[in-house]
Amino acid sequence: MTETTVSEINETRASLYWWFATLLTKELDKEQLAMYFCGEGVTLLDQLEQEPDFTASVQKIKSALTTILAMNKPELELAADFSQIFLTDTKAGAPPYASVYLSKSGQLFEQPHQDMIDLFKAQGLTVDPEFNEPADHIAVQLDYLGNLIIQDVNGVSEAQINFIEVHILSWLEQFVKAADKVNNSGFYQGVCQLLQAYIKQDIVAIMPD
């Protein structure tokens, strides 16, 4: 395998993590959603569906899209789903913050947030003030992971593996379970499951032999 291939694969991996980050950052607007009915989104989902480990979750996403498409205002329905899971009910929903799952207090901005802040600080980074979310937000973590990967032009650094294991896998399962408990179109539940399936495969793949 040539170095170019490694770099290409890393670019793909980074892009996928960024794609997940995008989906979990905020609601899709009308144009963005349209791409999942007919466009790049469909292409991506189709390709991912072919991978056996991803089939179930991609089908969940696709089925949700079909449900939503039949509705009057698909983008608003999906936005309401997004709110229900991530933005409003932190008890029965799936708040996208590691602190909620990992700290005893059940409060926001607990140690996992602090850990991310420290990590960012050491590298002269910060969460975009416009976004203004705790640093342990799943989308921030995935965005950062994408950056870690893309910097590793020639392979997979220990930092990548470490970050995935310590900062993401420590709460991802609980997060995905929490999302699964919410009853709506299932789009974001599918996205969370797909993320989990992907990261599971990815960590195995990048582990040193």
What are the phi and psi torsion angles at 38 (to 5°)? -165, 100
The least distance separating other proteins from the CB of residue 63, rounded to whole angstroms, comes to: 19
Does 120 bind other proteins (CB under 8 A)? Our answer is: yes
Does 12 bind other proteins (CB under 8 A)? Our answer is: yes
Strand partners, 97: 137
DSSP 22: H
Does 38 bind other proteins (CB under 8 A)? Our answer is: no
Does 131 bind other proteins (CB under 8 A)? Our answer is: yes
- The residue within the footprint of other proteins, chosen from 66, 107, 151, 162 (CB under 8 A), is 107
Does 7 bind other proteins (CB under 8 A)? Our answer is: no
By C-beta, is 176 or 202 nearer to other proteins?
A: 202
Does 152 bind other proteins (CB under 8 A)? Our answer is: no
- Ranges within 155-194 binding other proteins (CB under 8 A): 155-156, 183
Does 52 bind other proteins (CB under 8 A)? Our answer is: no
**Number of residues in contact with other proteins under rule CB under 8 A:** 79
x-or-dash string of contact with other proteins, 70-99, rule CB under 8 A: --xx--x--xx-xxx--xxxxxxx-x----
Distance CA 58, CA 64 (A): 10
Distance CA 185, CA 57 (A): 13
DSSP 166: I
| Residues 112 and 153: beta-carbon distance below 8 Å | no
